[in-house]
């Protein structure tokens, strides 16, 4: 586990999926997905093996406040070379409207760039307008028609090209 103190009293920690502090993230995401998409949506949380969110190609970050997870998210290597895929962006229901999701996204982007990724890809569901707004507000380009009814599209894809990165091994961007 690596910890990085940041302004605002929050601690950023890199953890594995099996870390007990990840449980609130998974529990609340399961509830959110189920309430918005039905019982079958829980499967999304187990869709990828935990190893995909581990170094060297992935990461799972939590924001801790007074030792408790208040927000988090992860990335994994996407199938396109040099591209990371953001997954599981979450803010605890008691801590929303504080800009924590923006902070998680920024931390994940920094970590991905540090690891040599040049692009970030993600999808969000059509019944998650908050997530759609977050990605638009943080500079992501929608890869779908914004004027279309989201329910007719299915998963809503976004991308963002990362600025000049400083990978640990220059010229060795992760490939997929």
pLDDT at 46: 80
pLDDT above 50: residue 168 = no
Segment 101-130, tens digit of pLDDT = 999 999 999 999 999 999 999 999 999 999
Domain ranges of the chain: 2-161
pLDDT tens track for 122-131: 999 999 999 9
Q: What is the pLDDT of residue 44?
A: 77
**Residue 2 confidence (pLDDT) above 90:** no
Residue 73 pLDDT level (bands cut at 50, 70, 90) = very high
| Residue 74 near residue 61, CB atoms below 8 Å | yes
Domain 2-161 belongs to what topology? Aminopeptidase (3.40.630)
- In angstroms, the Cα distances linking 75 to 33, 60, 66 are 19, 7, 25
pLDDT at residue 27 greater than cutoff 80:
yes
Residue 3 structure tokens: 């910890």
Least Cα distance to 74 among 88, 93, 91, 63 occurs for 88
Beta strands (DSSP E) in the chain are 2-5, 11-14, 59-65, 68-77, 83-91, 119-124, 141-142, 156-161
Q: Where are the alpha helices (DSSP H) in the chain?
A: 23-37, 100-114, 129-137
pLDDT tens per residue, range 43-52: 777 889 999 9
pLDDT of residue 163: 83
Average pLDDT, the chain: 88
Q: What is the mean pLDDT of residues 54-82?
A: 95
Cis bond upstream, residue 56 (ω within 30): yes
Tell me: pLDDT of 175 over 60.
Answer: no
User: What is the rounded CA–CA span in Å between residue 35 and residue 66?
Assistant: 29
What pLDDT does 170 receive?
34
């Amino acid at each position: 586990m690596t910890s990085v103190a940041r302004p605002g009293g929050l601690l950023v920690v890199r953890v594995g999926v099996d870390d007990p502090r990840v449980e609130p993230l998974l529990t609340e995401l399961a509830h959110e997905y189920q309430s918005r998409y039905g019982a079958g949506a829980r499967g999304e949380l187990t869709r990828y093996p935990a190893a995909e969110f581990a170094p060297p190609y992935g990461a799972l970050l939590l924001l801790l406040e007074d030792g408790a997870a208040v927000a988090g998210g992860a990335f994994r290597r996407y199938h396109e070379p040099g591209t990371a895929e953001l997954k599981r962006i979450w803010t605890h229901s008691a801590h929303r409207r504080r800009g924590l999701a923006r902070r998680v996204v920024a931390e994940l982007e920094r970590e991905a760039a540090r690891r040599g990724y040049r692009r970030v890809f993600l999808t969000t569901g059509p019944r998650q307008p908050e997530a759609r707004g977050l990605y638009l507000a943080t500079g992501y380009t929608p890869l779908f028609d914004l004027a279309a009814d989201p329910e007719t599209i299915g998963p809503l894809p976004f991308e963002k090209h990362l600025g000049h990165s400083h990978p640990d091994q220059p010229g060795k961007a992760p490939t997929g």
